[in-house]
Amino acid sequence: MATVTERTPFRQAIAGHSVMELAREFGTPSYVYDASVIRQRIADLRRFDVIRYAQKACSNLAILDLVRREGVLVDAVSAGEVQRAIRAGYSPAGEPAPIVYTADIFDRESLQLVQELGLHVNVGSPDMITQLAEVAPGSHITIRVNPGFGHGHSQKTNTGGEQSKHGIWHEQVEDCLIRAERAGIMVSGVHMHIGSGTDFEHLSQVCAAMERIVLQVGRSVTTISAGGGLPIPYRNSESYIDIDKYFELWDASRNRLAESLGHAITLEIEPGRYLTAESGYLISEIRAIKQTGKNLYYLVDAGFNNLARPILYGAYHPMSIASAQPAGERLQDVVVGGPLCESGDIFTQEDGGVVCSRPLPVAQVGDYLVIECAGSYGFVMSSNYNSKPMAAEVLIDGEQRHLIRKRQTFEDIIHGEMIP
Ligand code: LLP
């Protein structure tokens, strides 16, 4: 099992590459990913039959290519994510399905792609069954079931229970089976994902709910998916969940089901955060330091347009300083903010927008501030708010470092706009 390494707020290098050199070469703000961390996290989960990467966490083509080479399959939640997977070398069909389309609706574009490519669908709403039958009769599907409970690191990432729009409500499974049978659709898989960034206790409650639903669906089921949701330790006080114990719970459920149904059951897991969060660093430059009343602010050139998790969820990310000057050891309480013209553009905030300070090394303008554990739901949630370009992305693989996305230019930002 992975162990937590105590993080410190002093950092001169990422995976052996100097932060200063990375900043000089690629500019700031830039996302930097360490390939070895992603490979390690994949290795942690090898006991599951299928690891399916929830690419919504970090969908750069180079990251998808990396996980594909490790034998990891992929989940796509939109036509765009399906196309990304294909560009990264996944084939649309195969057994087990290399790409699964998981959603609660088909927009017109995704339904057309599903039809053209013959993609496997993980259905989150009863209407999707009928819509799929019209374009792809005879398909096999997975049903994503909302077991009636859920949990996440924030209410916004809880995907179970009746406050969640996700999945087929557990009491409607029977109706869906009838609907599927009438439409000539075969339910070959059951999937549950109760939330993102939850804990062991909640995750393990899913096994019993899964067993109940699979027995209700019956012998057509050949695959079960535990969904994603594995947490990672953002704070030094947090730890990893026990992956082996988690696997053993699921393995036992799978074995009981195989026994009851009389055939083998494939066990999938579908993590996003767990595979990429810790690999990613957002490097920013401190551009101003100012005292405002009792608060000392470090203002950096990355904002919530680059990393939205703090303003959206009050999410905590570790931070460190790479100093251009000989680094002192002294810490001081600071508030870290970005460049955007909005008071909420603060990286040190708690849920509800409460501005907090935290101890960080004494720094000067021109030093670099690194926001850590930013590889999942970091770049992918960025925007062009305030007409700021999206950051560059860089992949470190051992000695090598590769630019895997250019920083946007002003022309990229206004691309497609027209003055009539
Ligand atoms: N599978 C399904 C069907 C999902 O809805 C999700 C996440 C995952 C897998 C992957 O969950 P993970 O293993 O990453 O926890 N933007 C939020 C997270 C939203 C997750 C939405 N669904 C954040 O920054 O925390």
Write the DSSP string, 303-370.
-TTT--HHHHH-----EEEE-SSPPP--EEEEEEE-SSSSTT-BSSEETTTEE--EEEE---TT-EEE
Region 287-309: mean pLDDT is 98
What confidence category does residue 143 fall into, taking pLDDT thresholds of 50, 70 and 90?
very high
223 ligand 1 Cβ < 6 A: no
CA distance linking residue 168 with residue 192, whole number of Å: 10
Q: Looking at the predicted structure, is the pLDDT value of residue 278 above 60?
A: yes
CA of 229 to the centre of ligand 1 (A): 6
Whose C-alpha lies nearest to ligand 1, atom 6? 228
| Bridge partners for 297 per DSSP | 290, 335
Q: What is the pLDDT of residue 5?
A: 66
Region 129-158: mean pLDDT is 94
318 ligand 1 Cβ < 6 A: no
CA of 77 to the centre of ligand 1 (A): 11
Region 69-92: mean pLDDT is 98
* pLDDT tens readout for residues 405-418: 999 999 999 999 99
Give the active site residues.
341
Q: Looking at the predicted structure, is the pLDDT value of residue 2 above 60?
A: no
Whose C-alpha lies nearest to ligand 1, atom 16? 377
CA distance linking residue 266 with residue 189, whole number of Å: 9
Q: What is the pLDDT of residue 276?
A: 98
* pLDDT tens readout for residues 214-234: 999 999 999 999 999 999 999
CA of 167 to the centre of ligand 1 (A): 14
Q: What share of the chain is helix, strand, coil (3-state, %, to 5)?
A: 30, 25, 40
Region 314-331: mean pLDDT is 89
Q: Looking at the predicted structure, is the pLDDT value of residue 313 above 60?
A: yes
CA distance linking residue 386 with residue 276, whole number of Å: 28
Whose C-alpha lies nearest to ligand 1, atom 20? 196
Q: Looking at the predicted structure, is the pLDDT value of residue 345 above 80?
A: yes
102 ligand 1 Cβ < 6 A: yes
Q: Looking at the predicted structure, is the pLDDT value of residue 381 above 60?
A: yes
58 ligand 1 Cβ < 6 A: no
- The token pair at 226 is 């535990």
Q: What is the pLDDT of residue 204?
A: 86
| pTM (global) more than 0.95 | yes
Pocket test residue of 105, 196, 200, 316 for ligand 1, highest count of atoms within 8 A of CB? 196
197 ligand 1 Cβ < 6 A: yes
- The token pair at 349 is 């905030």
Instruction: Find the DSSP H helices in 75-229.
Output: 79-87, 108-117, 126-135, 173-183, 200-217
Region 23-31: mean pLDDT is 98
Q: What percent of the chain has pLDDT over 70?
A: 98
Average pLDDT, the chain: 96
* pLDDT tens readout for residues 159-199: 899 999 999 999 999 999 999 999 999 999 999 999 888 88
CA distance linking residue 378 with residue 308, whole number of Å: 7
152 ligand 1 Cβ < 6 A: no
164 ligand 1 Cβ < 6 A: no
What confidence category does residue 247 fall into, taking pLDDT thresholds of 50, 70 and 90?
very high
* Region of poorest pLDDT, from 5-9, 67-71, 320-324: 5-9
Q: Answer for the pair 68, 89: CB distance below 8 angstroms, yes or no.
A: yes
